[in-house]
């Protein structure tokens, strides 16, 4: 996995490194040198600098480019510097690097523009000349390289009002959450990280990679059978949302996410519509009332007999005996359970302490609005601090929390894993149901529910990317993602 950290951890670690071992000027030099070595420089380069240490990295870069005989100029937001930044700016002046102060002019005729306006410590909204400079960079038509993070982009949430759009972002020290979350995918075409010798003083987060998922999936042995990989039960569906559980079924079984056998548990009134979609799976009809599940203990016992993991909530609706159903499972079983969609809406109406007392290994898969309902934390706070809010709720409940977004946050309250696979085309009805099916399938044969959730997010996102290549972001639907799971798993395990 790749290390990722919060802005605060990076700040503390930077300060500790400076006090204990490496002077700030040396770290700044390493940052500028790392940026210099990260790109193949050609033609004219303009380095746009703010007033903080991020600008200092740009001054080091300008000095190195000048030494290499490159055509480089500096554009200052204003003639104000950090202590270490001024040191390197004076070196640039000694080397006669051209510089000027920004005066609302257009940026034209440069092959490369380097963005050193704001660093990861920036919060809020760029205003005045800073806003104009960011707009000028975006309108320059040049190759744009952002130092550490795109100016205007929040280093923790990946949100911003006015941000630089980069062709390449060179993260310094360690990737920050804002390189992956929120709007990051829309603003950063490519990214790379450079190590400048800062060791994190607090445990970092992790970005899951292909090799991590491959390790979890393992290699299947010939001497095995369907029971080896587990029976799972998917409980959901109602008259209004009969399609959702079909997708979860496709994801978990027919599209080979890994379950040995899938039991599809739906209200009896849906049997006729669901049956044509059952190729390798089994159907378990449940009593219903007006098209929604009616809880009957003996039926749930039969449905869950022999299963190794449960998925509940996909298309369940809110008119049935949902609370009785969910309470019964949580109070009487000790299985991995993925709770999604209307399962989460049901849980939000219940006493959340049930998650602390249950012997089930619960995985909750909310989007931000669902997490607001579950946690009573305002949506704005969740969007601003997605990792913090997910961690806090996981600690409160004892569950694994998978917070959906352009990138996914997965946490058990101690460990934090990010997954950044996926595409814009997955912003469509049913995508979460496909994800829940995949995770449930993985839980049937793997005990680490945090890793199952993270790997499920990775597989789901990769399948979505494959579907997007075939259908495009605008036209693809969730069933396209479901049909691409087999390709995704094959790519991972090759």
Q: How confident is the model at residue 281 (pLDDT cuts 50, 70, 90)?
A: confident
Determine the angle formed by the axes of helices 449-471 and 210-217, rounding to 10 degrees: 120
Q: How confident is the model at residue 227 (pLDDT cuts 50, 70, 90)?
A: confident
Domain spanning 13-201 has what CATH number? 3.40.50.10260
* CATH level 2 (architecture), domain 210-493: 3-Layer(aba) Sandwich (3.40)
Q: How confident is the model at residue 75 (pLDDT cuts 50, 70, 90)?
A: very high
Determine the angle formed by the axes of helices 368-375 and 386-397, rounding to 10 degrees: 40
**5, pLDDT greater than 50:** yes
**255, pLDDT greater than 60:** no
**247, pLDDT greater than 70:** no
Query: For position 243, what pLDDT does the model report?
Result: 77
Q: How confident is the model at residue 248 (pLDDT cuts 50, 70, 90)?
A: confident
Query: For position 254, what pLDDT does the model report?
Result: 46
In tens, the pLDDT along 284-315 reads 999 999 889 999 999 999 999 999 999 999 98
Residue pointed to by tokens 């090759």: 494
- The mean pLDDT value of the chain amounts to 93
**411, pLDDT greater than 90:** yes
In tens, the pLDDT along 124-170 reads 899 999 999 999 999 999 999 999 999 999 999 999 999 999 999 99
Using alpha carbons, select from 204, 206, 207 the residue that is nearest to residue 9: 204
**256, pLDDT greater than 80:** no
Q: Where are the domains of the chain?
A: 13-201, 210-493
């Amino acid at each position: 996995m790749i290390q990722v950290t919060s802005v605060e951890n990076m700040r503390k670690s930077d300060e500790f490194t400076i006090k204990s071992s490496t002077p700030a000027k040396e770290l700044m030099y390493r940052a500028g040198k790392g940026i210099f070595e990260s790109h193949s420089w050609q033609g004219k380069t303009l380095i746009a600098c703010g007033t903080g240490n991020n600008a200092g990295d740009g001054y080091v870069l300008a000095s190195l480019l000048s030494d290499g005989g490159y055509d480089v100029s500096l554009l200052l937001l204003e003639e104000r510097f950090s202590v270490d930044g001024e040191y390197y700016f004076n070196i640039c002046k000694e080397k006669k690097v051209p510089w000027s102060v920004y005066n609302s002019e257009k940026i034209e005729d440069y092959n490369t523009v380097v963005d050193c306006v704001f660093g990861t410590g920036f919060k809020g909204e760029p205003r005045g000349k800073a806003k104009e400079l960011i707009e000028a960079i975006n309108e320059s038509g040049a190759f744009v390289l952002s130092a550490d993070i795109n100016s205007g982009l929040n280093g923790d949430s990946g949100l911003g009002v006015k941000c630089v759009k980069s062709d390449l972002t060179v993260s310094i020290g360690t990737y920050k959450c804002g390189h992956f979350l929120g709007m990051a995918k829309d603003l950063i075409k490519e990214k790379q990280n450079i190590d400048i010798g800062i060791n994190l003083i607090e445990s970092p987060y992790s970005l899951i990679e292909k090799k991590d998922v491959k390790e979890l999936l393992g290699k299947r042995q010939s001497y095995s059978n369907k029971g080896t990989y587990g029976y799972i039960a998917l409980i959901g569906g109602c008259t209004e949302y009969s399609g959702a559980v079909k997708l979860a079924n496709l994801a978990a079984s027919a599209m080979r996410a890994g379950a040995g056998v899938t039991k599809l548990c739906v209200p009896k009134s849906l049997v006729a519509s669901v049956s044509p979609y059952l190729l390798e799976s089994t159907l378990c009809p449940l009593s219903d009332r007006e098209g929604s599940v009616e809880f009957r203990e003996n039926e749930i016992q039969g449905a869950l007999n022999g299963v190794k993991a449960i998925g509940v909530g996909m298309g369940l609706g809110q008119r049935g005996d949902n609370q009785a159903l969910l309470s019964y499972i949580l109070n009487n079983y000790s299985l991995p359970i993925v709770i999604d969609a209307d399962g989460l809406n049901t849980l939000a109406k219940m006493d959340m302490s049930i998650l602390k007392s249950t012997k089930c290994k619960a995985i909750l898969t909310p989007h931000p609005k669902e997490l607001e309902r579950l946690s009573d934390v305002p949506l704005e706070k969740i969007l601003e601090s997605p990792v913090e809010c997910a961690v806090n709720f996981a600690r409160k409940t004892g569950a694994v929390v998978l917070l959906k977004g352009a990138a996914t946050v997965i946490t058990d309250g101690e460990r934090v894993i990010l997954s950044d696979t996926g595409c814009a085309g997955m912003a469509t009805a049913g995508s979460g149901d496909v994800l829940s099916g995949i995770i449930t399938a993985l839980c049937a044969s793997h005990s680490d529910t945090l890793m199952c959730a993270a790997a499920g997010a990775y597989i789901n996102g990769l399948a979505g990317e494959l579907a997007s290549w075939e259908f495009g972001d605008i036209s693809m639907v969730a069933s396209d993602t479901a049909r691409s799971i087999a390709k995704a798993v094959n790519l991972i395990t090759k």
